[in-house]
């Protein structure tokens, strides 16, 4: 007959074996959950920066009565500062600011446009306004647009590159429209 101590020893070894098996089953899922959480957090942080960039470029521009090349260059360069510590280059990001004007019937077209790391909109290009702004006759808006091509570090093979975009419409603050000069 076995003694009570031998039964207890046998029971404690069985519990340790069960714990090891449970850990080996749960550990991979927990690791994937942790890595996914980090990647999701990075993606969300970059999306916030995209929104902040679109709003900032529209806001900076809407406070002017006229803008020259040097001012516009400074405004567009500020996008790279907003994205710190993430890289903002031709390969990853794009920021565009445009003035959009409507005619007497409320049809919107581009008056002028500038871009960094992307293509500026063409003068006269039709623009579809959001429903809250559509149909408003004889008015100008500043359109700030930003996009970022986010490439997850570890999940790239699963989701690939994710393009995050945002745009913002603001009214000019100091004048009816903003003059874009070359000097």
Residue 177 in tokens = 């429209």
Q: For 78-113, how does the pLDDT look when each residue is reduced to its tens digit (9 = 90+)?
A: 988 898 888 888 888 899 999 999 999 999 999 999
How high is the mean pLDDT of the chain? 87
Sign of the alpha-carbon dihedral angle for 121, 127, 128, 131: positive
In a domain, 60, yes or no: yes
Domain span at 109:
48-180
Q: For 32-67, how does the pLDDT look when each residue is reduced to its tens digit (9 = 90+)?
A: 888 888 888 888 999 999 999 999 999 999 999 999
Rounded to 10 degrees, the C-alpha dihedral 142/136/123/77 comes to 10
In a domain, 175, yes or no: yes
In a domain, 13, yes or no: no
- Residue 3: per-residue pLDDT: 63
pLDDT bracket for residue 151 (50, 70, 90)? confident
In a domain, 15, yes or no: no
Site of tokens 């519990």 = 15
pLDDT bracket for residue 18 (50, 70, 90)? confident
- Residue 146: per-residue pLDDT: 95
Average pLDDT over residues 133-137: 89
Helix (H) or strand (E) holding 73: helix 69-82
Cα dist. 40→91, 120, 167 in Å? 21, 31, 22
- Residue 105: per-residue pLDDT: 93
- By C-alpha distance, which of 66, 123, 132, 75 is closest to 100? 123
pLDDT at 71 over 60: yes
pLDDT at 70 over 90: yes
> How many structural domains is the chain composed of?
1
In a domain, 59, yes or no: yes
In a domain, 82, yes or no: yes
In a domain, 16, yes or no: no
- Residue 4: per-residue pLDDT: 59
Q: Is the peptide bond before 2 cis (omega within 30 degrees of 0)?
A: no
Residue 36, SS3?
helix
- Residue 33: per-residue pLDDT: 86
Neighbours of 109 (CB within 10 A): 16
Strands 179-180 and 66-67: parallel
- Residue 31: per-residue pLDDT: 86
pLDDT bracket for residue 170 (50, 70, 90)? very high
Rounded to 10 degrees, the C-alpha dihedral 6/9/15/19 comes to -150
pLDDT at 2 over 70: no
Q: How far apart are CA 96 and CA 110, in angstroms?
A: 12
Residue 153, SS3?
coil
């Amino acid at each position: 007959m076995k003694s009570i101590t031998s039964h207890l020893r046998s029971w404690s070894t069985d519990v340790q074996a069960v714990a090891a098996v449970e850990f080996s089953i749960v550990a991979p899922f927990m690791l994937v959950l942790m890595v996914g959480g980090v990647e999701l957090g990075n993606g969300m942080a970059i999306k916030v920066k995209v929104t902040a960039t679109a709003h900032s470029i529209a806001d900076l521009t809407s406070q002017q009565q006229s803008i020259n090349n040097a001012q516009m260059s400074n405004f567009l360069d500020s996008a790279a500062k907003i994205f710190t510590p993430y890289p903002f280059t031709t390969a990853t990001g794009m920021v565009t600011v445009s003035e959009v004007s409507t005619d007497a019937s409320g049809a919107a077209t581009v008056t002028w446009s500038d871009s960094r790391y992307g293509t500026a909109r063409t003068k006269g290009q039709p623009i579809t306004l959001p429903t809250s702004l559509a149909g408003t006759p004889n008015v100008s808006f500043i359109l700030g647009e930003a996009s970022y091509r986010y490439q997850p570090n570890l999940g790239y093979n699963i989701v690939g590159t994710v393009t995050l975009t945002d745009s913002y419409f603001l009214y000019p603050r100091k004048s009816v429209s903003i003059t874009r000069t070359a000097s």
